Amino acid sequence: TTESMKQSTNYSAISRMRYAHQSVGGFTLMELMISIVILAVLFTFAVPSFRELMLNNKMTANVNDVISALRLARAEAIKRDSFVTVCASNAAGNNCATDDPPIPFHQNGWLVISDTGVAGTMDGTDELIRSYPPISDENFTIQYNNGNFVSFNTLGFVSSVSNGTMSFCDKRGNQTGVPINIVISSAGRVRTEHPTAPDCES
């Protein structure tokens, strides 16, 4: 009958309105909730991975800066036919640190200097070749096992008869693969390694 058809039409219209209220941008409310849960799970895994990526990039950048300084010093020593030194900077940033025990390289940054006078200090006609700023991240450290400086002679060899090691650590501590060492051979060669038994503070 006509009355029944009207009631059926009204019921269909109400149903469509209810369904429309439960849809958002083409998604049902249930689909939207599932999407939010999936995004939350992905975010939980993505944040630590992103943090690891940022720390790895910072570690690599700092290691590369020190390697750059060491290679510059070696090349300048050969070119100038005189000693050139990479040293931990003093607090003023205008000379090598002479602290005992040695201060870490990251604290005040490091310098590349011509070093014709007293070893490991800028005096007389010595020249500042390049300076590197301190590392702003207080959780990052560079420790050198042979004092405050590395000196290269006219042949590009270092003054120490044994290998020197610079240890790079960050806030992650002793986790495998995190610390990096720069090893400086007596011949002045520079290489990196991941120590099997790192000594980093957490």
Residue 12 lies in a domain: no
Residue 14 lies in a domain: no
Residue 183 lies in a domain: yes
- Is residue 106 within 8 Å of residue 134, measured between CB atoms? yes
Helix (H) or strand (E) holding 1: none
- From CA 115, how far away is CA 95, in angstroms rounded? 11
- From CA 83, how far away is CA 132, in angstroms rounded? 19
Range(s) of the domain holding residue 121: 28-193
Residue 148's CATH number: 3.55.40.10
DSSP 90-155: -TTSSSB---SSPPPHHHH-EEEEE-SSSTTS--TT--EEEEEPPPS-TT-EEEETT-SEEEE-TT
Question: Does residue 85 sit in helix, strand or coil?
Answer: strand
Residue 19 lies in a domain: no
Domain count, the chain: 1
Residue 1 lies in a domain: no
Residue 15 lies in a domain: no
pLDDT in tens, 123-149: 988 999 999 999 877 678 888 888 889
- DSSP at 89: B
How many of the other CB atoms lie within 10 Å of CB of 85? 26
Is residue 12 pLDDT above 60, yes or no?
A: no
Structure-token match 């849809």, residue found: 23
Task: List the structure tokens of 157.
Answer: 């060899």
Residue 13 lies in a domain: no
Higher per-residue pLDDT: 9 or 57:
57
pLDDT in tens, 91-126: 999 999 988 888 888 889 999 999 998 888 999 889
Residue 122 lies in a domain: yes
Structure-token match 């980093």, residue found: 200
Reported confidence tier of residue 7, pLDDT bands at 50, 70, 90: very low
